[in-house]
Structure 1
């Protein structure tokens, strides 16, 4: 299934009736030309019907971009702009929207050629607030054609995330495991975000799994798994059951997504899962995530929500990891100190049993789940994908509802270091500047659970704008403060 939203941005130019309309016409044309020279023309649609100067024009433009299949909007102030009509356009357009403004082109034409959009953006933003209309406004929203083309392109991943959330269903199986309150968060905020949730018992899933016994599609999935694992296929006897489980989940998604376009999954994977199903679901979770259907472990609803946002923003596979264990001092001294510009407290290990896609691992092997095997027969703990996570830039982040039903988030840029973990599971040695302080004054102080989503690459800028757009208060978006900048809760005499 196609589980990634696509966005087409309708560009509508606006004009104040006491300014030359030609300013907006010519500047819109230049903007579209600049965008199509640098980026994919299918991302945008130039509304040719009119330059919006009045409410009638607004209705005409709105109908035109809807007919053209636009699910995102860019209101372009070619000059000062009509603050009522342009903000009504944003109000009545149902998808994500942005506002940008044209800069003046040349000192030689600052009389008849001056547009004053720099001023008009102030009135537009005030009117948006009056109408309680959310819109993305770039950090510096005024520019020439090339600048504005770049702004629109930066809006694409933000718009994809907003569009995706408004059409997302989260399917969960089972309550959180006992003694595992960390990922238990109110679902009210999901509805506030426009996300649907379908909660099921793991018994429902077990029945569906048993009904897939002998499914004729199993051998083909087993062959896919064998090709993916290669020499890492250490538990070939468990592949038919894993294939049966994968087909069960895919068919459930097909039959239960309803009117929603996009789906994520989260499931209960212990303590009874292994003894009843006869395996652990980690590898299947990793495969579905690689196929664009994020899956979180341990019924972490906001974990899979975070994964989906990161997938859409990064246009890449993501993963969910425990912020798990400290890096031993001897490992730090041998493999990190003097080689990388990080202190010991900047480092930690991100781990999960085996839910990270094989393409994001430096090597992979199908194993048994060591933690579970300490109290269960090894043969029912097979099915986890182990390997060190590939080195490179990452963004660690999470969107969360607090116990008192408030949205909160964090974002931190860092990297996975090329250091052998010498451990088990899907795991990596992570480094985030000032991680020790971030750990104490954002993660602990903010009451975040141990699960964090990981996007590969640095995507903090877009994630920050997504979180703002969907209503996370700016003061509730934590990030790793640089050295010398004190957290509100940090002891000034530390």
Structure 2
């Protein structure tokens, strides 16, 4: 009931404020205070809204919400927002990826969030507790307040990983990288998938870290790199990066 009321409240707010605008996105507070104030986590509701074409970013990530909006407009499909800072275990790579797909271990990573990805983009979805917060808050502190995640492996197939951002000089920057979600069981929790992007290690080091991007990236389900690259150029993005092939220093 609390989850349903939260969703209704957001939809009512949207109707009151959107006016003549066709699209609405949310950048909502979730981690780490939401569950202690409302008695649940908002991930599942966020996933439902995103499935309706109303992207919701986690952790008040405004540029993440704008990125999701761009992905929704270009792909005309559901998008998601994921952490990009989790590695694929070496034993999983050796047993499930090596020799089956043309990627090195450093080309792969785990795209993860607590449970915000729409059910239509999961191989199967299950309502669960938010495991990270449950470890510190339940059962001894406040029981049953971290329910509300939608867990499951993300559907395999082509993806575009991208983000619009502002730097310290208030200039727009962006990156675009095409890759895929591999049909490999993650054996983990949350909304999660085994992602592969060619030259990901160099891209992570020389773009995401060196150019100070946050750990959130937007995901569109399909290859839309050319359209996004051109859109970012039209927006006047100061610095536009991509996963450069081996031959490009």
TM-score by length of 1: 0.49
Aligned residue runs from structure 1 range 211-230, under 5 A: none
Of 198, 220, 226, 1:455 maps to 220
Aligned residue number for residue 88 of structure 2: 327
Q: Give a deviation string over 1:106-151, Cα, whole Å, max 9, x none.
A: xxxxxxxxxxxxxxxxxxxxxxxxxxxxxxxxxxxxxxxxxxxxxx
Query: 1:281 aligned to 2:42?
Result: yes
Of 369, 373, 386, 2:151 maps to 386
Counting helix residues as a fraction of each chain, which structure ranks higher?
Answer: 1
Aligned residue runs from structure 1 range 260-275, under 5 A: 260-275=21-36
Of 151, 171, 189, 1:424 maps to 189
Greater relative contact order (Cα < 8 A, sep 6+)? 2
Other structure's SS at 1:262 match = coil
Q: Give a deviation string over 1:419-459, Cα, whole Å, max 9, x none.
A: 11010000000000000000000111111000000000000
2:168 and 2:34 map into 1 onto residues whose CA distance is 27
Query: 1:479 aligned to 2:246?
Result: no
What's the Cα RMSD here?
A: 0.9
Structure 2 unmatched runs, 5+: none
2:158 and 2:24 map into 1 onto residues whose CA distance is 27
Q: Give a deviation string over 1:36-94, Cα, whole Å, max 9, x none.
A: xxxxxxxxxxxxxxxxxxxxxxxxxxxxxxxxxxxxxxxxxxxxxxxxxxxxxxxxxxx
Other structure's SS at 1:247 match = helix
1:431 and 1:253 map into 2 onto residues whose CA distance is 36
2:119 and 2:191 map into 1 onto residues whose CA distance is 9
* C-alpha displacement of 1:268: 0.7
Q: How many residues align?
A: 245
1:402 and 1:260 map into 2 onto residues whose CA distance is 28
Structure 1 unmatched runs, 5+: 1-239, 487-494
* C-alpha displacement of 1:392: 0.3
1:259 and 1:346 map into 2 onto residues whose CA distance is 43
Counting strand residues as a fraction of each chain, which structure ranks higher?
Answer: 2
2:131 and 2:15 map into 1 onto residues whose CA distance is 33
Query: 1:308 aligned to 2:69?
Result: yes
2:53 and 2:20 map into 1 onto residues whose CA distance is 19
Quick check: which has more Rg, 1 or 2?
Answer: 1
